[in-house]
Amino acid sequence: MSQNTDVTPIITAISTVITGIAGMVIAWLLYRLNKYQQEESWVKVYMRILDSFWNDPVMARVRYWINYDTAYSELRPVLQKREEGRTTQDWPRNNRDAPL
């Protein structure tokens, strides 16, 4: 009976250490899972936006301007006209004021 009492504190200490290590490992794994899910959700949203841009028939003209340098030439006069007479003070201070 005295041998059993001598082993009990050792077994208790070992089980406490194992439980502590297991808790730290589980916490670390949950942290990594959360970080992965956050990154994955951002990528999914970005891919959905990108997919809608490249498949939207309304955006075909914009895709044409982006893909072909020669197509950009039809935009050049419009952009130059827009830029004439503007100074840096004319530009909007934040995105809410930006003209569409």
Task: Give domain limits for the chain.
Answer: 2-85
At residue 53, the pLDDT reads: 87
Chain-centre distance for alpha carbon 25:
26
Distance, in Å, from the CA atom of 64 to the CA atom of 53, rounded to the nearest integer, reads 12
Model pTM score: 0.42
Q: pLDDT per position in the chain (100 positions), as tens?
A: 455 668 888 999 999 999 999 999 999 999 999 998 888 888 888 889 888 888 888 888 888 888 888 887 888 888 888 888 676 565 665 555 555 5
